[in-house]
Each structure stands twice: as structure tokens, then as C-alpha cells.
A and B are shown apart, each in its own frame.
Chain A
Amino acid sequence: MQKYSIFSLARNALTRHENWREAWRSPDPKPEYDVIIVGGGGHGLATAYYLAKEHGVTNVAVVEKGWLGGGNTGRNTTIVRSNYLWDESAGLYEHSLKLWEGLSQALNFNVMFSQRGVLNLAHNLHDLRELSRRVNANRLNGVDSEILSTDEVKAFCPLIDCSPDIRYPVLGASLQRRGGVARHDAVAWGFARAADALGVDIIQNCEVTGFQRTEGRVEGIETTRGIIKAKKVGVVAAGHSSVIAAMAGFRLPIESHPLQALVSEPVKPILDTVVMSNAVHAYISQSDKGEMVIGAGIDGYISYSQRGGFDVVEDTLQAVVELFPTLSRLRMLRQWGGIVDVCPDASPIIGKTPVDGLFINCGWGTGGFKATPGSGNVFAHTIAHDEPHPLNAAFSLDRFSSGALVDEHGAAAVAH
């Protein structure tokens, strides 16, 4: 791997930047791999990276039907935090946040992780109690989190309208100072480049069309570029998880919904933190380019169309303008949708499937981006050892039979 540094930048400047090598190869698929990862988003690429890096499994391919990070990795609002309620979730998301804190150095790729703080606003007494409960749970789990009063919210983020006469006045907030945002494309590219350097084959424009199985064990995948044999297959297909599962002959407790986001025209820096509100439903931050990045709740019906309806956008912007009257005359530049795999308990599924040798990592719903490194890390462990990592043992598919659900609808902070 060509190491990126101030020296390599200077050296390449002398040759007019014409001699940079491609960040990863685009090899033809080999006939057989030890592990194939289906899905070249952040989670899939992170899984391949950690398989090679921490478990010495380097005969690995990542197959992606489109281009790297072209799905939800490139469509989210890039918020990273770990203030989830239950012990199981706190362990998983905090593991991820710790990996984020060293990720740019580990990958030698600037993922622009910016710990600018994440505010969750409370607009009624129930919100306040729920946030206080969650902050207390976080602190018991070693996750930094604190409660702010209305005055403290105003001091921390002056742009929010904290006057008592708005429709849903701000009564307080929780703040995770270590939370923030990262550059989503860079996360996919950084993991891809680092995985490729460790020998992982990244195969784009290669869509899975079926599985090869013998007596309940997976033996390979059928793709638009032919049959590829594999000892183990890890499926990290987000919104299309149910489609892939159907090919392998089992069902998931997943529904795929559009989740929309939009960005405004760029303006000067005015918002230096991430603000989320469950009750009025808006979340917003400002990108380094100056655009206001705004996320909506899911559209209420199953769809794979990556569009969504304007009524959801309208609801979201009403809430944003109520909280931030300053933004009322901003024009919106772009709107898009991603297809999120929503689980009944708003927690992911990471583990084995009814098919031997076939593993699945899905159900991240509206909040998968923040978990990218941690998800890949524990999923790589699960595939390498045929056993879940202690941090993802609670997130197995059979929790829907046992009833041991991990209900994180409150902490998910996005309307389902």
C-alpha cells in the first residue's frame, strides 16, 4: 500500500500528482475463497479488513452489486454516537466509538471523524425522564453522557430557539461530547484500501443471484460474474438482506423502508454540533462544505425504490424551521433516500443463520453508520471463530424466538 503522508503528498506534487496509484485493485474473482462478504458498504468492507487484520484470514472477497459505498454508507447523515440504553447496545456501540477514535490512524486514511458532540433534545416531561434514564444508564456503562438544562442548551448551541413560546419548547437535552460526525465516503474508501492492502479482493459490479448449498451448508455464491466457491459467506446487504435471505431459503424479521435525507445550499459555519430531536423529529448538522445536513424519519411503507415521499421531507423541515428559525430561508440542494433494514426491536442481527457457513449482519435500520467499525470488528470475529464475539452474542437471530429482544427505539432517535 502506498502510504499517505505529508511526504508522499510533497513527492507526488513534484510529478504533478500523475503518479498516484489506485487505492485498491479491481481483480477478477478467483474460483474459490475462504470467506466471501456479500455487500461492499462500510460494514462489509470493515468485516473484510478485520478478518485480514485481526484473524489472519486474507483469502477473502467482497462482492458488491454496484459501487463501493453506493448504498446506505453514502446516503446517511454520518452521525456517530454510542448513547444507547441497554448494556448490550452500550457495549457494541461504545466498542465502535472507540474504534472510530483511532480509525484514521489505523487505516492511514482521513475519515474526518469530528467529535463535535451530539445533542438529543427533550420537549416534554416524558422526554426529559427518558433522556435522564438513558444518561444514567450510559454513565453506569462508562459511556460519556450528560444532561443539559434549557439554559445550558442555549449556551452550547445558540442557534436553537429555546424560547418558551415555540410549539414544542426545549426543556433540556442529553449531550454526548465524544459523539460527532465522519466523512461517509472516506470510511468506505479507507476500509477498502486497507483491506485490499492485506490481500482482500474487492469485486464491484458483481451481483449475487443465488447460493450453492449441500446438505444445509453453503458452498459458494452464484453471481452475475459466475459461480464463486467459498467455505464461509457473510451477508452484509442492509436493505436487501431479506432478498438475499430468501435466496438462501430463510426469512428475517426485517422490513425495508426508505429513509430520506437532504442538504441545503452551503453557508458559513453556524452549527458546530449535531442536534437531534425525537419528539418533533429532526436531526441536523453542518458539513465541512457548509451544507446543513438534515435527516428525516422513515417512510411508513416497505420500498426498495430509494426515493420516499415529499410529505416526510415537509414534516422534517417544519420541525427544523421551528427549532432553527434562522434556517427558514435556506434553499435545499439535494434530497435522496436509502433503503434501511428495520428490525422490530431497532437493534441489529449479527450472527449465524439457519444455513451452516452462512452468517448475517443486518437490521441496523436507521442507525448503522455509527457502528461501522465495531460491526465489522465483531462480525469478522463471528465468521473467523464460528462463534459470536461476546459483544454481539445478544444480537443473534434466535432472540426473536427466545424473546430476549434489545429494545432501542428510544435511543435509535429516528421515527420508525
Chain B
Amino acid sequence: MKTITTTLFLFGLLLGAKATDVPDVRYLKFDELAANFNTVNSKGQMLECHSAFDVFLPEGKFAAEGIDILVPETPNVRGEKLLFLKWSYNEKKWITIKGKKVSSKTINKKQYHLVHVNETGVYGLFNDDRAKGEIKLILAPSLRISRVEFSQENVQVNYEKQLYDKPHSIEIPFGSVSILSEISMDVFSKSENKTSGYQFKLGEIPSLHRITSKSNHTVVFITKKDLARISRSSTPQTPAP
């Protein structure tokens, strides 16, 4: 599975980094964030990621005292409130860390968010404003969904779920959907008795099949024709039963 493989690769990098005595903080680009992690908290709510970083602290002084990380505030956003969370590899979710808060600091008239880290791990700053609304994907009756992944780069959100009961619809807890949202899904066809992977942008589904209410509830009907038209199929990632 790509998630596990890449995560192990990241661990390998971290182990390699242990040869040095200096801390290492590396920003995670959205591609990397979406490929290896998600942006869901322990309550299953979707969070918009402000920034995520991979921190390595060597044994000794840095591990004992920790380090401060400064992240520039978003331009022209007054009173931006962020949550500071740590990625839990066990739960595969972002969890809160006791006693860790986001403070702010001004250096040379530039404003930064400041967080203190004293453990190696993957950390993220998320907008403290739970995404409202949802998007419901409904497939034709003869099709079933066995895995879905939803990503939207402009707001850095990612959601991935394996669906063992293979429903023909799925609700994703995010309402501010763009036509550029990426959807990757494994679809089981009853008639063909096989699972195929599809990857497409929401805007590739005809606008007549996408209905958004004022309260940010979007319903998307995906037909067989749509899937046939979307030629960019991906390799299914649904584990074999």
C-alpha cells in the first residue's frame, strides 16, 4: 500500500538523519501530505492544513530542551487561530498534544506563529475552524465504492477511507468543494465482478450532476458513462478480501 511504503521511506530518511547532531525541520508539501497522511482529527472532522512539518530531534540537548518552530502568519488574515496537532501513526489521525499551544512572535516586524516541539515526529498547524458541509458521492446502483480519497490542494485537505461494506454512496465531511478537487476511488462493478481504480477532478463530472445547496452540501451523481469517459484510471488500492 502506497501509504505504508512511503511512510516507511520517510522513517528511513529520519533514521538516516540520526547520524547528525542537529535538529531537522522539513515542510511537507501538499503532495507528500496527501500521499502519506490525511487531514482528519480524532473526531473524524476534516481540518484545513495551514502547514505541516517533519521534525527530527537528535538525542541530547535538543531532545531535552526542544526547539521553537516559527511559521509565517497568513498574509492579511488578522487574528488567525491555529491548532497544533501531532500525527499519530497508530490512529492514522492528527491528535492534540497536552500543553502545546500556538503563540505568536514578531521578528523584524514580521509576524510568525510559534510552536515548541520536544519530540521527533510529524506536526501540523490547522485552521481552528472546522470545515462545514459535506460532499456526497452517489454511484450508479450496480457500482459499489470500496475506497475513496478526496484532496483539495488550495485549502490543503485530504480524506481517505476504506469501505469494507462497499456502499454505493459515501459522505465526505467537507463542503467547500472546488471543481479542482481530486477524487480517487476504487469502484466494484457487480456485473463485471471486478474492482477498478479511478482518479478524476470533481469538475470532470457534468455540472448537471453536481448540486450544491446554500449550506455547502454537495451531492454528486456519478454514472457509468462518467467513469467510462474518465480514462485516467488508477491502480485499485483496495486490499484483497
**Is the A/B pair a real complex?**
no
